[in-house]
Chain A
Amino acid sequence: MVGPHGGKLINRVLKDKAEVLKHENEFEFIKVNTDVIREVENIAFGVYSPLEGFLNKEDFESVLNRKRLANGVPWTIPIVFDLDDKVAEKLTKGQKIFFQYNNKPVALFTIEEKFNFSKDEYASKIYGTTDIKHPGVQRVQNMNNTLVSGKIDLISSSLTEFQNYYLHPKETRVLFKEKGWLDIVAFQTRNVPHLGHEYVQKAALTMSDGLFINPLIGPKKKGDFLDKVIIDAYKTLTNHYYLKNNVVMSILQSTMHYAGPREAIHHSIMRKNFGCTHFIVGRDHAGVGDFYHPFAAHRIFDEFPDLGIIPLFFRSFSRCTKCNAIVNDKICPHPQKYHINFSGTKIRKLLSEGEVPPSDLMRPEVAETIIKEDKIFVE
């Protein structure tokens, strides 16, 4: 099986919780939100291996400027903890604080360093723009001015929603080993599946032992499909149209950054830590609006011969009425007029009106599952 990124699968889950909780009246508490908890759990469970905590200044600057940690290991998205200046000013190096969530201490944070950063530089290097219309830029501009680095020790997991689909890297690695899979292809998604997605997944699966469908669960934009809808839709699809022994679905609790090419690398690294050998990268992967070239997320992989996971690039695909099949621009000789695109907008409109899209766009069972839900979209 592929080794974890950076050589070691990180486990920062405390074994002796009672020992740490003895200090409940001694250490300070900082209230954190669900976004921070997601990052904390990803660090603790090894999804972000080799990170053991939030980035320090040297690593942060190296990620911005070189797309690598200071030791040279590929890393493209800063995993940072920002804090209000007045709160940060009181913290000192080596100090231990509790992260508080739902009124209880959930993690121990050992302060390493505090530093300021330029939001414009962050935005322009990570997102390639400082345009406030970009959701990632908006997020950065709303951050506090001080970043605090340090190691994390998880006391208890708080992400209880979809618990039955929440597998950690050490669990998926045991699962893949038990299934006897060697070549494992990961598919990242934040949408309900249509036939185009199924085509890409099955094309990749044909050349590997197993498919790991890994929907991203986390904050979404208004109008996006609800997490539950995505999970239920995939459950229906895999039950009806996949061989049970060749596919696994579990969720990834993470924030979508819309960082296009840099995020494609980040998505690959996380799946490598889950034990995957291959990662599907589509057209305009992790893009938003027209901020990135449609194939920028393919080209960036040339900069990382040492990534340790193999990207599988897919260009655009559509249904060709002449071939009577799902095709891509490498395999179909017919002109555009014969091609019907998998229009997300069209599928979304039909589903929102309670209608089942045509079966050459979406499996009827999947559509039925979606329209049966009380609510489909984020409001």
Chain B
Amino acid sequence: MPDEYNVKIPKEVYESIKEKLKGTHFKDVNEFIIQHLKQSLKISDISDLGEEEENKIKQRLKSLGYLE
């Protein structure tokens, strides 16, 4: 499977996003659309915490009463 796919969007939508992104930190329209889709579809960014650290955090949260 390829790492990336091409998706077509109408020219007017592309142009209006491009206009909106002037002066922002997005390198291009692609980058904005990826962030926007992840946000609206609630696609998680993979956590870079290891299993051991995550378990340690869960323990602390339990000891403080934040988790049962």
Contacts and interface: CB of A to CB of B under 8 A. Distances in A.
Interface residues of B, number: 25
Nearest to B53: A170
Contact of B39 (A66, A68, A173, A277): A277
Nearest to A165: B64
Contact of B20 (A68, A277, A305): A305
A71 B49 CA distance: 26
A173 B32 CA distance: 23
A171 B49 contact: no
B39 A2 contact: yes
A177 B66 CA distance: 12
B42 A170 contact: no
A73 B25 contact: yes
Interface residues of A, number: 28
A153 to B, nearest CB: 18
Nearest to A250: B66
> B25, B60, B61: which has the most chain A beta carbons within 10 Å?
B25
Interface string A279-323: 000000000000000000000000011101000000000000000
A3 B38 CA distance: 9
A44 to B, nearest CB: 15
Contact of B24 (A2, A72, A170): A72
Given A73-B25, A175-B61, A248 B66 contact: yes
A178 B39 CA distance: 19
Contacts of A2: 39, 45
Interface string B22-64: 0111100000100100110010110111000110011011001
A367 interface: no
A78 interface: no
A164 interface: yes
Given A170-B49, A305-B20, A308-B35, A68 B67 contact: no
Interface string B9-25: 00000000000110111
A170 B45 CA distance: 13
A159 interface: no
Interface string A132-149: 000000000000000000
B61 A74 contact: no
A175 B25 contact: no
B24 A174 contact: no
B25 A1 contact: no
B61 A178 contact: yes
B54 A174 contact: yes
A340 B60 CA distance: 44
Given A3-B45, A9-B48, A178-B67, A171 B24 contact: no
17 contacts: A1-B42, A3-B38, A3-B45, A66-B23, A72-B23, A164-B64, A167-B66, A170-B57, A171-B60, A174-B49, A174-B54, A174-B58, A183-B42, A248-B66, A306-B21, A306-B32, A308-B39
Given A68-B25, A304-B24, A305-B24, 12 more contacts: A1-B44, A2-B45, A72-B23, A164-B64, A170-B53, A174-B54, A174-B58, A178-B67, A182-B42, A248-B66, A305-B21, A306-B25
